[in-house]
Amino acid sequence: MDRSEILEMMAALQLSGMRAAYDEILATGIKRKHSIEHIIGALLKQELAEKHARSIRYQMGIAKMPLAKELADFAFKDTPINEQLVRDLASANFLAQQRNVVAVGGTGTGKSHLAIGITRSCIRLGRKARYFNAVDLRPAAVPSDQPALRAHVHHRHDQPGLRRMAERVLRCQDDDGAPRPAHPPLRHHRDRQRELALQEPRLIGAPDLP
């Protein structure tokens, strides 16, 4: 079996880590006279490392962190922040203990930087995380994926309740299905009776016989 066939099978099995490192590991193994087991083990380690890196990249993406901040970039010097405590939090031990962490401080004191840095460190240790801000946590009466419905509700919210109820009442229709006018000239049955009383009587008699 030649090299191209081996690489094709690695691609079919989605062994991208092994495929990318195949030539280097094989050349190093032959040069140093490594055993077959040693070469195969090196290829497997490379594949595991690639899958782990791919998982970290995926978890970093779904965490939705606004910035790529690292604890290594934070300047602890001349700040009241307990660096050792932050390092302990970055080890993710507080998650195993099911404890919460609350950062208190004014604007610009580094709360977001530390929170993002701790989160990224926990993800690299195999934990899952999701970044939220205060706006994301606000409850919404209407789902966010229905903007048209949300706008409709907001538009009608300030209208009087009686008017909104009246709009739901169907107008009567004539026999031909056309809607009657909103304000007909005779709205009361007494008006109708008075109109009939004022009409001249019309008698229909039999035709004169010869």
Rounded CA-CA distance 77/134 in Å is: 29
Torsion angle (degrees, nearest 10) of CA 64, 66, 72, 78: -140
Residue 150 has pLDDT above 70, yes or no: no
Has residue 38 been placed in a domain?
yes
Q: Among 124, 139, 165, where does a domain finish?
A: 124
Number of domains, the chain = 2
Has residue 136 been placed in a domain?
no
Has residue 209 been placed in a domain?
no
Q: Among 124, 148, 168, where does a domain finish?
A: 124
Measuring CA to CA, which residue among 113, 93, 95 is closest to residue 103? Answer: 113
Rounded CA-CA distance 8/44 in Å is: 17
More confident residue, 54 or 180: 54
Q: With 0-12 CB in 10 A as exposed, 13-18 as middle and 19+ as buried, what is 37? A: exposed
Provide the whole-model pTM. 0.53
Q: Kindly report, residue by residue over 56-72, the tens digit of the pLDDT.
A: 999 999 898 888 899 98
Distance of CA 53 to the CA centre of its chain: 24
Domain that holds residue 53: 3-62
Has residue 90 been placed in a domain?
yes
Average pLDDT over residues 177-185: 51
Residue 53 has pLDDT above 60, yes or no: yes
